[in-house]
Structure 1
Amino acid sequence: MIVGLPKEIKNNENRVALTPGGVTELVKNGHTVYVQATAGNGSGFSDEEYKSAGATILPTIEEVYAIAEMIVKVKEPIESEYKLIKPNQLVFTYFHFASHEPLTKAMVASNAVCLAYETVEKKDRSLPLLVPMSEVAGRMAIQKGANYLEKPLGGRGILLGGVAGVAPAKVLVLGGGIVGTEAAKMAAGLGADVTIMDISLPRLRYLSDILPANVKTVMSNSYNIAQAIKSSNLIVGAVLIPGAKAPHLITRAMLKDMQPGTVLVDVAVDQGGCIETCKPTTHENPTFVIDGVVHYCVANMPGAVPYTSTLALTNATLPYVLKLANQGWLTACQKDEELRKGLNVINGNIVYKPVADAFNMAYSPVENYL
């Protein structure tokens, strides 16, 4: 198969879809890999390293899309890329369709095959291609939140871990999945007073067992959230409904109950955000303030640490990339239920129901195309 790695062109997105090591594995399996010039520079991988791995370097993004049968990316295509995607071309990347109607309609119109990292799902319902970036984003949420709690950046002026004789900051984490667990670990490690909420009692029991003593587990419901936000200094939104829009757990009206200088970090922004006042921001302009509350809503947080993120992402995606390249998307998805669940759009048809439901668009079961 001919595999293309275009350079990411989303604002401040420095990751690349595969490391030179990943390219080596594809070439060893008999595939041809074309990499756009400087695609790996932001992650610390040079064109020479990709050449040594067996890739051919092409100067423009247009040439990569034109020649490739499978495009492997990190982030969803942006508007300037829509016209480059060809009918029957396989695009394997994070799409997060349910929060972006223009992208959904563009991919339907392209007649391409769109396989989304975020909906590839194992039998135990875990999301193997979301896990590595969720780990990075969860840890970064605390790193960034601690930073924006500083007074010069608009925060209340609180040191996350406090000092002797001074209480630490109160951190509220909404969601006990991978993002929430990593955020709670990081905040606890820095000495904060942490509360993590989830709707699953078995999950809360598990978290209570594994997390440090300075992390409290609380059942997530409207009343408990409304009470907790009043005294929290840093709130992390870490809610995920696979492939669907995140529910709003914090509304605009609730901001008035927060202390001035409270910091909100909404990691769920890729799926529409679990905080009503959230809107996607970039690393260039990461925050905005509403009612004295600082909002950090960067939609590609792991892009700020691209070396770590690219290595972690390739570790997770490469086995799936190899299956798709070795067998073709149709056979691979027929044989592999995990990959089959990643199919969102096939040749002009939405085959992932939560995406169709998000925009009241026509849905066609994936089985019709396998």
Structure 2
Amino acid sequence: MFRILIAGLTLLATGFVSSSIVSSVAMAQFGGDTSVLQQVFHPVSDLLLDLDKPDKAAAAVEKLIARADESRPVLIKEVQGDAPLIRRGWMIVALKAMPGDNVDAVLEKLRQESDSELVRTWTAAALIARAKNLDELLGLAPTSGTGRRDPLDRPFMARFQEFLQQPDQEVPLEKLVAITTRNSHLTSIAVPIILQQGPAPLTQIMLQARENRNVRQQAAALLGTMELQGNHEVAEAVANALKFDPQAKEVPWAGGPLFLPGLVWNAEPNRQHARALSRHLIAWMLWADRQQQQETLNQILNNLNSNLMAQSAGYRLVSGVREIDEISPATLAWLKEWKRAFGREVLLDVLQEQGVSDDPHYSKALE
């Protein structure tokens, strides 16, 4: 009997059946310790006692919801206590339908801290049902790996589709990309929506996502997918996003790693964008050297040392650099390679842009 009620509550919390169906699953009496509730003097106390009775629980929930102003404070207190699991499940079902930020706060606390996996699942389902917008919903996305479905996947996807059908719905793109790194089962609905947003916003996530490095890396991979599906503006968007700014106080990807998408850089019109992109990276390399930001410098060099990028842009990879004076040996070596590949005037323009064409450390590359 206990297992039947647990299964019924889970279905009810996740939105798959109505309360009347659950109450009819098991009509036999379910015994429970009601001594604590019997001591509570409150107009809704009888309804709380009914939550332990399978034949009365669903009706009690509906009455508690109808008397939300009276019942909500008691439910909030009792659901955080040590009431029997079945009773707590019905309390969560009732709270799901009640307005109030304090309800959201309690449900979120239980979702995060409850020792019971069932309580965590029920409260998560309630919060999914209560989500006010798509941004809030995406923060509740379930996590599941390949071959394992989370019981919240279906209610989450149903609510997700509901929001998408609303006119002028704003898509919180970074959270949507993050979902594809955590839940393989939600990827099929998330990726098409991401790709519809175009390359510019996805490029910004590739450079600026703060949640974790996986989000930046996934955004770079999705840009590659976008190009494969026929979007010919990806390379230009990436090059434009990394354009060098002499007045910059930080690099465009500050706060995380630098990932670039695996595009077909060696085909037109991508080839010209590959050259523009590599020119921006050389400028950022010089800037990072001047700012003595070694980690940033290494990030840039890792991306410049790409065979495909080098072949597409028209430069050679630099390796076997030895230490020279105070300047980073790699920086000087790359500046010299830029002069060899594109001419003295092109390198001079890079140095003048940052006011170091007369700096003996860097002007050596002009010789």
**TM-score bucket (shorter structure):** under 0.3
More helix by percentage: 2
The structure whose RCO (Cα within 8 Å, separation 6+) is larger is 1
* More strand per residue: 1
TM-score by length of 2: 0.25
